[in-house]
Each structure stands twice: as structure tokens, then as C-alpha cells.
């Protein structure tokens, strides 16, 4: 029994080692960018306060007049959206498209003064988000981030197994407390293992709330949630659900639960003119849409006005579609309409972003991010101190027949997370066809 346990320990240690080597650099990037993005409201307020802030006056221009100012000043552009001023001292924001470029025009709602035309590609926090979500290389980056995130699950499982105390003793040193009096290898081990255990729940939560955003697993999970009745109840539509190939996420940024919501069509009525943007704004206010919402302006004859409120708290999320000719509400989708899974994910996302509970949410999350960086660095240091020269320093693998349960677990994870499954196939093929057949590689990887 002792031999079986030893062989299993060696196998799990080896997998923990390789998983750590793979995810370490990416995990540092994700932790730093994620920790930075948590403070997006404060950072953008500091960067763009001169664009945001206006002097309060007695009367604001209506929405149509504000948009007309922008259209007149930029006649070659197409106005795509309007974000009303959310407070007496806050500017309005008009979305503008010019060719392939998109801009935000900040406007004084009292006198129509154009404060700034900002290229959206120059928004620093958007670039941080892009680096965090797809390493700034598009789809391939998104898949790599997803793969890394899934492998962190393997890292957590193997790490907890290696940490788990095997001797019955009352002292907590080395288990929940770092033994600073030990020094040497024991201290290095504690500096890695003990903080990692304290962070396990937080890291697992960030994984669980981050994966629904991923491009492959998240998209498929989203389809399952919708197709199993956890999607959109009939009550959110006026009349029958729309038969549309356009999803709301194709129009603008909306809450996760509304991304695949089908966009209805306006009923084209001859000689009818589009209702005013001011009317749509008034409709939003009458229906209690929270401040900070955006109105997306239809660009085709059958298009609709879309109102998107993606506020700090999940409970305030709203997505609405309105007929452009009558102003009738065609879709009204809110947090209360979400299924239990949609509500859980919506709440998880706002917690993940640090907005649900304000500053305390941000501070707890950033401490987890800092902890992740420190744990990764301590793991690298632990490896570097024990690594033989000219070798990778990987632990010797134990007997596979004593670790069949662990390998079954890997297969299950590979089924649940297909990118992990694909990577496992690649790993086993490389190990069997290349590493074990080339003497220098076999020695280097301690295969």
C-alpha cells in the first residue's frame, strides 16, 4: 500500500510540475492584467476625467439634437450609438464609425460642445482587457488563455494532493502556516504550498466565473444553458419569439445572459419615419432602466433600437429591443428573467470584474491576483533551486498502474474541457513517439 501511494505521489508530482511549467508565464500575465482591470472605473476616471466632466447648467439638449451636432461635425461618419449623460456633471457619449475605425465622441449635453473624439482602439483598459482575454492575438490567443485556465484546474487538483498532510500531528506548520524557522528546502516548499492552499478557493472561483467568457468552451456552454431551458422565457418578447440569425452580441456589448438573444425585426411601415432618439430615451427612463445605459441606433430598415444596461450590479442588467418606427418594446430581458444558471453566471461575472460590491470586491480580488503572482514566483524559485544543471529537473514518473484513478480523472477533464483533451493527446503522442525514443530528450525530461 505504501509503495502504491509513493508511486501515485510521484506521478501526480510530475504532472503538477509540467502543468506549472506550462501555465506559469501565462498565469502571471493573467493575474497582472486581471488585477489591473479590476480598477477600470478609477483608472478611466483618472485618464479621461477631462472628457467626462462638464459644468451643470439648467437645461440639457435633447438626444436628437446632441446626435445632430456630432453628425454635422463629422459628416463622413455614421452615428451608431448614444449614451445619455448619467449625472448632471457627466458628458454624453456618441458612438461614431468611420470606415473600419470606431470612435467615442464626448459631448457637453448642455451646449453641444464636442469635448473629445476618442479612437476606441486607444482606450488603454480595452487593450488590457484584450491582453487578459486573448493575449492580443485574436482567436488563437483566446483558445490559449482557455487552455491555460483549464490546466490550472489540473494544477489545483495535483497541488492540493501534494499539499495534503499525511502525518497525524497537531501542529499546523507547513500545512496552514509557513515554517519560517525551518529554512532551506522546507521553507521554500512552505512559501509555495501554504499560500497556494489559502488561495485555492479564490483561484477556483476566478476560473469558474471566467470560463463562461471563453470563445470555445464558453460559447458551447452558453448554447447548452439556452437550449436546456435556462435561456430566454417567452415572457421577454412581445408576441412570438423572433426568427433571426442576428444575436444581440453582434450589435453591442451586453450582459453574458443576453449575448445570444435573437434580435427581432422592426415592422416596416410605408411612409413611416423612425421614432426619435429622444422618445427611446424617455421610454428607457419610464421602464426604469438604470443610469449608464447605451442606445444602439438601427442601421437598416428592419433594424431595431437596442438598449443595453451593463451596470456594476448583476441585478440591474437590462437588454431591450424596440421597433424603430413605433417605439414599441419587442424584447425586455432583465436579471429577473434569467434562469438560475444565468443568474449565477451574471453574478459571478460582476464579482469576477470586481464591480458587484464595489471597493471591497476590488480589494479582495486584487489580493488574490497578487497572491497568484507570488505563488507562481515561489514555485519557479522552488524548481530553480532543486533543478540539476543541464536538465529540466522534472520529477521521475511513478508506475502508471498505481495511478489509474488519476489518469481516469485526466480523461474526464479532457471530456469536460475539450482543449485539455486535445492537449493530452498531443502530450502522450510526443512522449511516446519522440521523448522516449531520443536519449538526450529522455534524459532531459527525466522520462
Per-domain boundaries in the chain: 2-38+131-212+359-444, 50-127, 232-338
CB contact at 8 A, 89 and 53: yes
What pLDDT, in 10s, does the model give residues 138-187? 999 999 999 999 999 999 999 999 998 876 555 566 788 888 888 788 89
Reply yes or no on whether the pLDDT at 229 is more than 80: no
Distance CA 109, CA 116 (A): 13
Q: How far is CA 215 from the centre of its chain?
A: 10
Task: Enter the DSSP assignment of 331.
Answer: E
Task: Enter the DSSP assignment of 252.
Answer: S
Model confidence band, residue 113 (pLDDT cutoffs 50, 70, 90)? very high
Q: What integer is the mean pLDDT of 356-382? A: 97
- The CATH number that domain 50-127 falls under is 3.10.450
Helix or strand run (H / E) with residue 332: strand 329-334
96-129 residues labelled b (16+ CB within 10 A) or e (exposed)? bbeeeebbbbbbbbbebeebebbeeeebebeebb
What pLDDT, in 10s, does the model give residues 275-310? 999 999 999 999 999 999 999 999 999 999 999 999
CB contact at 8 A, 251 and 296: yes
Helix or strand run (H / E) with residue 107: strand 101-107
CB contact at 8 A, 339 and 231: yes
CB contact at 8 A, 55 and 113: no
Reply yes or no on whether the pLDDT at 417 is more than 60: yes
Q: Which residues contact 292 (CB under 8 A, 6 or more apart)?
A: 83, 86, 309, 311
Model confidence band, residue 235 (pLDDT cutoffs 50, 70, 90)? low
CB contact at 8 A, 90 and 52: yes
Amino acid at each position: 500500500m505504501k509503495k502504491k501511494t509513493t508511486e501515485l505521489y510521484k506521478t501526480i508530482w510530475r504532472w503538477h510540475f509540467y502543468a506549472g511549467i506550462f501555465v506559469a508565464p501565462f498565469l502571471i500575465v493573467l493575474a497582472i492584467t486581471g488585477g489591473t482591470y479590476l480598477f477600470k472605473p478609477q483608472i478611466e476616471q483618472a485618464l479621461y476625467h477631462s472628457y467626462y466632466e462638464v459644468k451643470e447648467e439648467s437645461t440639457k439638449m435633447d438626444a436628437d439634437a446632441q446626435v445632430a451636432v456630432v453628425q454635422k461635425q463629422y459628416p463622413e461618419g455614421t452615428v451608431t450609438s448614444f449614451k445619455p449623460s448619467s449625472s448632471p456633471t457627466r458628458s454624453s457619449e456618441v458612438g461614431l464609425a468611420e470606415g473600419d475605425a470606431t470612435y467615442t465622441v464626448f459631448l457637453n449635453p448642455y451646449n453641444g460642445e464636442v469635448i473629445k473624439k476618442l479612437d476606441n482602439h486607444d482606450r488603454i483598459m480595452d487593450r488590457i482587457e484584450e491582453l487578459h482575454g486573448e493575449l492580443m492575438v485574436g482567436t488563437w490567443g483566446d483558445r490559449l488563455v482557455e487552455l491555460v485556465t483549464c490546466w490550472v484546474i489540473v494544477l489545483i487538483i495535483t497541488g492540493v494532493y501534494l499539499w495534503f498532510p499525511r502525518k497525524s500531528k497537531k501542529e499546523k506548520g507547513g500545512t496552514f502556516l509557513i515554517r519560517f524557522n525551518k529554512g532551506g528546502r522546507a521553507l521554500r516548499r512552505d512559501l509555495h504550498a501554504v499560500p497556494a492552499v489559502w488561495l485555492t478557493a479564490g483561484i477556483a472561483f476566478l476560473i469558474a466565473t471566467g470560463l463562461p467568457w471563453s470563445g470555445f468552451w464558453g460559447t458551447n456552454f452558453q448554447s447548452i444553458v439556452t437550449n436546456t431551458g435556462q435561456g430566454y422565457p417567452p415572457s421577454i418578447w412581445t408576441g412570438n419569439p423572433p426568427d433571426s440569425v442576428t444575436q444581440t452580441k453582434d450589435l453591442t456589448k451586453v450582459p453574458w445572459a443576453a449575448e445570444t438573444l435573437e434580435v427581432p425585426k422592426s415592422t416596416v411601415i410605408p411612409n413611416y419615419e423612425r421614432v426619435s432618439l429622444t422618445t427611446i430615451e424617455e421610454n428607457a427612463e419610464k421602464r426604469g432602466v438604470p443610469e449608464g445605459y447605451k442606445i444602439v441606433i438601427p442601421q437598416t430598415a428592419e433594424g431595431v433600437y437596442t438598449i443595453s444596461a451593463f451596470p456594476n450590479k448583476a441585478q440591474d442588467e437590462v437588454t431591450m429591443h424596440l421597433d424603430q418606427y413605433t417605439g414599441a418594446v419587442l424584447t425586455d430581458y432583465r436579471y429577473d428573467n434569467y434562469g438560475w444558471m444565468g443568474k449565477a453566471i451574471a453574478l459571478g461575472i460582476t464579482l469576477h470584474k470586481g464591480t458587484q460590491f464595489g471597493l471591497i470586491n476590488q480589494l479582495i480580488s486584487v489580493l488574490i491576483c497578487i497572491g497568484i503572482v507570488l505563488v507562481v514566483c515561489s514555485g519557479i524559485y522552488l524548481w530553480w533551486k532543486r533543478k540539476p544543471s543541464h536538465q529540466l529537473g522534472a520529477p521521475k514518473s511513478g508506475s502508471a498502474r498505481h495511478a489509474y484513478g488519476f489518469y481516469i480523472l485526466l480523461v474526464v477533464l479532457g471530456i469536460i474541457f475539450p482543449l485539455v483533451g486535445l492537449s493530452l493527446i498531443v502530450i502522450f503522442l510526443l512522449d511516446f513517439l519522440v521523448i522516449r525514443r531520443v536519449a538526450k530528450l529522455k534524459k532531459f525530461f527525466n522520462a
